[in-house]
């Protein structure tokens, strides 16, 4: 099948590479000449495990091409995915400017029947706006579908190749047949390909992310209460996660959720509720709880250092909002570092992949360590923000010898408190018994 993917960010690039891997002829288009030049040369502008080899292999086999000519990509394809960004507007709603610009371009270059699929995360009603924008510029027959993505950064390739489910909102049996053929290689093991009306598909994406964000904020608030009453949230997590009605996923307490999806999608859903006269108080509480949670690592650290941060040096392990990505959008590390700098502390940080992203944010306001242990010498404390595998079983003797005092604030609960106490550390996790 001949496929165009408009937008080469996290979603578009993964979609294009994975569809090419299953034999489709794919053109990925983007208006950024720099990005397209990099991709043509086999340089991947984002870090995503498994993506580089997928892109290189399909470039070599000529199943995958890159262009800045969006119109050419549309004309050469039977199926067109819209995968451009939908950043939050000032009021929290999704900014659809790029989506609608692409729709207009599609209309200008319709040279035959096509299936247009919105892959970007968009509010209910967007597909109809896309349909109108295309119809204003063409008399060719076309279908519009909604196919929300459920890709986790750090596991996006696996999520696309082996999806839990594929959700598709369609406007006709003909469109369903085309999309079903396209996705058939990915659902051979029996995971569902769910066809539904377009508004339901659009709502499903927001509802899914809002539910996951809710679980995170709920568990973070339970963790805070655990500290007050002397309970261990990790044991509580196991206790409630064993209930089949609840399950264990997304019940890990931490420094707050971040990334490109949860913060933006929760805000957009709250705004959509306001626009339609529906109060989503639960999600407003989720947002407020997450904002508070992003301050907790700093507050724990400041309390442990007797409220005196001026002149302190703090080592930070982890800058990306989660492991296996270089994405720092809405990362809890950003809130922590800004609070430390404002309080007069110096920051020495290490992340396996996100140093370039951090430099773009902080410039030379913080120091960057090439290796994790390089960040520790003479530091007053170590704060762990991201759960990279290399942080899970470190040399604690080396850490203790390098730090000015053996203080670790662990935002991911990577270590056993009893073991840390036996090693002579002051160890502060999230919800791990009584607070100091």
* Residue 409, helix vs strand vs coil: strand
Q: How far apart are CA 120 and CA 135, in angstroms?
A: 20
Tell me if residue 226 is catalytic.
Answer: no
Q: Which of 18, 145, 226, 261 is catalytic?
A: 261
List alpha helices for 61-96, DSSP H.
Answer: 70-75
DSSP 381-393: EEEE-S--GGGSS
- Cα separation, 257 vs 264, in Å, equals 11
The DSSP 8-state label assigned to residue 432 in this structure reads: B
Q: How many Cα atoms occupy the beta-carbon half-sphere of 418 within 13 Å?
A: 1
Residue 211, phi then psi, degrees to nearest 5: -65, -45
* Contact (Cβ atoms closer than 8 angstroms) between residue 84 and residue 99: yes
Q: Outline where 25-155 has alpha helix (H).
A: 33-40, 51-60, 70-75, 97-108, 126-135
Residues whose CB falls within 8 Å of the CB of residue 82, separated by 6 or more in sequence, listed in order: 6, 7, 99, 102, 103, 106, 116, 117, 118, 119, 120, 130
Please identify every residue annotated as catalytic: 261
């Amino acid at each position: 099948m001949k496929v165009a993917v408009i937008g080469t960010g996290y979603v578009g690039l993964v979609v294009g590479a994975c569809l090419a891997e299953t034999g489709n002829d794919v053109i990925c288009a983007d208006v950024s000449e720099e990005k397209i030049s990099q991709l043509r040369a086999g340089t991947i502008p984002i870090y995503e495990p498994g993506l580089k080899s997928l892109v290189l292999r399909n470039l070599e086999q000529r199943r995958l091409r890159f262009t800045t000519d969006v119109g050419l990509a549309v004309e050469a394809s039977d199926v067109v995915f819209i995968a451009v960004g939908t950043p939050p507007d000032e009021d929290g709603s999704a900014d659809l400017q790029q989506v609608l610009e692409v729709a207009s371009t599609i209309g200008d270059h319709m040279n035959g029947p096509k299936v247009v699929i919105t892959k970007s995360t968009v509010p209910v009603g967007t597909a109809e706006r896309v349909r109108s924008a295309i119809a204003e510029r063409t008399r060719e027959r076309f279908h519009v579908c909604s196919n929300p993505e459920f890709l986790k950064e750090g596991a996006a390739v696996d999520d696309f190749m082996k999806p839990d489910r594929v959700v598709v909102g369609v406007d006709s049996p003909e469109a369903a047949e085309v999309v079903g053929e396209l996705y058939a290689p990915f659902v051979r093991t029996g995971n569902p390909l769910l066809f539904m009306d377009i508004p339901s598909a659009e709502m499903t994406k927001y509802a899914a992310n809002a539910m996951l964000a809710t679980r995170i904020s709920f568990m973070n608030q339970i963790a805070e209460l655990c500290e007050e009453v002397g309970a261990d949230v990790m044991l509580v997590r196991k206790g409630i996660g064993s209930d089949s009605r609840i399950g264990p996923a997304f019940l890990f307490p931490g420094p707050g959720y971040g990334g490109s999806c949860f913060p933006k999608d929760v805000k957009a859903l709250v705004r959509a509720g306001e626009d339609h006269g529906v109060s989503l108080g639960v999600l407003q509480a989720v947002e407020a709880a997450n904002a508070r949670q992003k301050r907790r690592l700093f507050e724990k650290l400041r309390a442990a250092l007797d409220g005196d941060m001026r002149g302190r040096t703090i080592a930070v392990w982890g800058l990306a909002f989660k492991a296996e990505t270089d994405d720092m959008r809405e990362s809890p590390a950003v809130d922590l570092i800004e609070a430390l700098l404002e309080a007069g502390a110096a920051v020495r940080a290490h992340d396996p992949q996100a140093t370039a992203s951090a430099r773009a944010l902080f410039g030379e306001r913080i120091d960057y360590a090439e290796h994790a242990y390089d960040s520790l010498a003479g530091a007053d404390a170590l704060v762990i923000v991201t759960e990279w595998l290399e942080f899970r079983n470190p040399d604690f003797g080396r850490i203790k010898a390098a730090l000015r005092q053996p203080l670790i604030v662990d935002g991911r609960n990577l270590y056993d408190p009893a073991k840390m106490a036996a090693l002579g550390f002051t160890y502060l996790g999230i919800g791990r018994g009584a607070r100091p």
